[in-house]
Amino acid sequence: MIPKNYEEFQESLNGQLPPENWSLPLQALWYDAKGDWESSHDIAQDIHSPMGSWIHAYLHRKEGDRWNASYWYGQASKSFPSYDLAEELQVLVEANL
């Protein structure tokens, strides 16, 4: 079941895996929220869309690689955000619900 809001997304983190019927972007964000950057990145780099680029940018920003993050924000046609990573995660999740 797709979460209705960010709070339901957070509740889903109690599970072992994201639901299989979730979109790849939402699954990538789920893995990141669970602390599994590698799995999240593996999914994000295979999503060839502006959303995939945005998630990829967020992940490299989180990693501390500003240059790489800036490249991917450009691919997503997004500006480098001025808000913190927790807020960006929420914005990304809500954009995929």
Q: Digits of tens for pLDDT over the chain (97 positions)? A: 899 999 999 999 999 999 999 999 999 999 999 999 999 999 999 999 999 999 999 999 999 999 999 999 999 999 999 999 999 999 999 999 9
Look up the pTM and report it.
0.96
Domain ranges of the chain: 23-95
**Distances, alpha carbon 94 to alpha carbons 5, 52, 68, 83, 91, in Å:** 7, 15, 24, 15, 5
